[in-house]
């Protein structure tokens, strides 16, 4: 073997050793998919909120399960609600919005939505002592009645469209609105059904001050939003949602966080 040949073999051996060392160190492979950057606004319990400084909720659990299903690392990018659309479309600092987003015609003009994962709507939360005078949504539309909602949401849209006589006030998040209701700063708080369910807690709840009016004011579907130029990701997300609906994963996550979900059923009279 010549010196030149020996030198070539030596360099090849060194390269093999280097590659083996990189693999042993856990360095990512060149073809590993990039992290999935999930935009989330923690202002909407139980969909997304912070507890002891940590992000929690339905969307957080969805994101963690999604990473496993797609074989991708998931990075939660905490983003103010009003900035999510800009982060997705213009800045492209996130790949998908998972933040309890309702499908609306206006939003569909800017983003593409996945298949919905939950059908909800707006509900009213009041103090239990006020039930005799505020027992339905029509009673809210009167002068002197103070109604709160989270700003720039479908709750606000409903309030401005249907409550022209009431005094309206926007809050930065659900917890702030609920606190204002408890402190008698407002008389009613309009929120998505998931938030009302969380506060009232169902038949076994220890909540005594507040109660929900369990009639949907609107019918909305929640879904995830992606850029219009990313049909591949949308297809992947829809495939995962379809599988979750079939194997029970979707229902398990929802049931963990929402233990009261009211559905309408037809009650037929019994024959005499």
Which CATH number goes with the domain that contains 130? Answer: 3.40.190.10
Residue 242 within a domain:
yes
114 and 127 together in one domain = no
Place of tokens 């939505």: 113
152: left (phi over 0), alpha (psi -120 to 50) or beta: left
Task: With a cut of 80, say whether residue 143 has pLDDT above it.
Answer: yes
Structural domain range at position 104 = 36-119+221-257
Take residue 272 and report the two structure tokens written for it.
């005499």
More confident of the two residues 195 and 241 = 241
CB contact at 8 A, 190 and 121: no
| pLDDT at site 266 | 38
151 and 226 together in one domain = no
Residue 23 within a domain:
no
Q: What is the pTM of this model?
A: 0.74
Query: Considering its fold, how many domains does the chain have in total?
Result: 2
- DSSP secondary structure letter of residue 140: G
Residue 103 within a domain:
yes
189 and 133 together in one domain = yes
198 and 251 together in one domain = no
Residue 3 within a domain:
no
| pLDDT at site 107 | 95
Residue 57 within a domain:
yes
pLDDT in tens, 247-268: 999 999 998 888 765 443 333 4
Residue 264 within a domain:
no
Residue 44 within a domain:
yes
Q: Where are the beta strands (DSSP E) in 197-271?
A: 210-213, 220-226
């Amino acid at each position: 073997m010549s010196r030149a040949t020996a030198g070539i073999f030596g360099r090849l051996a060194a390269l093999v050793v280097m590659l083996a060392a990189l693999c042993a160190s856990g360095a990512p492979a060149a073809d590993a998919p990039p992290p999935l950057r999930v935009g989330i606004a923690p202002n909407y319990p139980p969909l997304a909120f912070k507890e002891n400084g940590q992000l929690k909720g339905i969307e957080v659990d969805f994101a963690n399960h999604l990473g496993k299903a797609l074989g991708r690392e998931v990075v939660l990018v905490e983003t103010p609600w009003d900035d999510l659309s800009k982060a997705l479309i213009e800045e492209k600092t996130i790949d998908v919005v998972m933040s309890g987003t309702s499908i609306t015609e206006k939003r569909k003009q800017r983003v593409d939505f996945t298949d919905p994962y939950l059908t909800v709507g707006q509900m009213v939360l009041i103090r239990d002592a006020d039930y005799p005078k505020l027992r339905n949504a029509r009673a809210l539309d009167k002068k002197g009645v103070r109604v709160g909602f989270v700003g720039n949401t479908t709750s606000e849209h409903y309030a401005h469209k249907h409550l022209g006589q009431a005094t309206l006030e926007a809050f930065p998040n659900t917890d702030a609105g609920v606190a204002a209701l408890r402190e008698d700063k407002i008389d009613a708080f309009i929120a998505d059904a998931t938030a009302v369910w969380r506060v009232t807690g169902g038949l076994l709840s220890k909540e005594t001050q507040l109660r929900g009016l369990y009639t949907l004011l609107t019918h909305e579907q929640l879904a995830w939003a992606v850029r219009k130029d990313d049909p591949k990701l949308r297809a992947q997300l829809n495939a995962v949602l379809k599988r979750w609906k079939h194997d029970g994963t979707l229902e398990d996550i929802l049931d963990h966080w929402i233990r009261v979900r009211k559905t309408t059923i037809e009650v037929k009279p019994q024959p005499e």
